[in-house]
A = this chain, B = another copy of it.
Amino acid sequence: MNEHACVLGIDIGGTNLRVALADLSGKILARTSSTTTNVRDAHSVVAKIRECTDQLLQEVGLARTAIAAMGAGAPGVTNTETGVVVATSYLMGWHDVPLKSMLEDAMGVPVAVDNDVNLAALGESSFGIANGTPNFVFLAVGTGVGAGIILKGELFQGSAWTAGEIGYMLVPGVSEKPAAAGRPGPLESMAGGEGLRLKWLSLWPSTQTKLPKNLTATQIFDGAVAGDALANSLLDRAAYTLACAIHNMTLILNAPLFILGGSVGLHPALQDRTQSAVDAHARRLRPRVVLSSLGSDAQIMGAVRLGQLIAQQRS
């Protein structure tokens, strides 16, 4: 294979690091993933990325010079101009990490970085269900809730790189008290994985449910589908809360498509009930609520796309 014939996509998550090598059309040639549970500081993560990359290059029989560029997603507020990760959640604990320059030094290739939810939106825009849709929102529902926003075909990050931080949105039914640091925000208390887990724990003692005390949000949704009343009320509330957020974003952005992704967001029962609740409030236009077509690969495919864009700029 020629020099500069492939790109690298990196997805740095709170629990997993994924690395993918793709050709210039975005087709994955090889990929690997690795836990980040004990690899949290930025220097260790960069070293791990280098190690994974060398492993992938060896797998496909390519030299480092084959890499044209790389795109990397970070789990936090990211300045895409300077390539600095301003802040991540407490899990990673990063502050002002110059990820772009650290990766460029380590790998010797041009690098672009962005927030991981933004990259999931970019992935769906380029390789997924949003291809050809200029305005849409990717809703990442995992531990918390965040949004990646594509407007006029491009990622919109806002004045200080925090556009889409919707876990703190105020909609009917949420707590109106400012959230304590490190705790779920008002919207994600109702619709995010950690919020749902905490709500289940607090309601469990006073109800007749036969389900166990410790459940993940996805298990709660499974319980709802199987007919458990408490689980059903939590799923309904999560869907209604997300529907309010989608309604509000539709009014503001007039986007016709909302993509549910993330470990909790990919549950089909959530998508189904959210669409119904959205329809009940729809005005001129009924936004479509769909499941991510790339699933857990949305982020990494967005990182590959970012790598492609940098490679195109440089060639």
List the interface of chain A (C-beta within 8 A of B): 77, 134-135, 147, 149, 151-152, 156-166, 168-174, 176, 178, 244, 247-249, 251-256, 280-281, 283-285
Contacts and interface: CB of A to CB of B under 8 A. Distances in A.
14 contacts: A147-B252, A149-B252, A151-B151, A158-B253, A159-B255, A159-B256, A160-B285, A162-B251, A163-B252, A168-B247, A169-B248, A170-B171, A170-B247, A172-B172
Contacts of A165: 251, 254, 283
Contacts of A134: 159
Of A158, A178, A256, most buried by chain B (CB within 10 Å of CB) is A158
Contacts of A176: 172
B251 A157 contact: no
A163 B178 CA distance: 28
Nearest to A86: B284
Contact of A174 (B163, B172, B253, B256): B172
B244 A170 contact: yes
Nearest to A254: B158
Given A149-B252, A252-B147, A253-B252, A283 B168 contact: yes
B163 A253 contact: yes
Given A171-B172, A174-B172, A280-B178, A252 B166 contact: yes
Contacts of A283: 165, 168
B151 A135 contact: no
A292 to B, nearest CB: 20
Nearest to A171: B170
Q: Which of A147, A159, A163, A255 has the most CB of B within 10 A?
A: A159
A296 to B, nearest CB: 25
Contacts of A157: 254
Most buried by B among A152, A158, A252, A283: A252
Given A134-B159, A135-B159, A151-B156, A249 B247 contact: no
Contacts of A248: 169-171, 248, 252
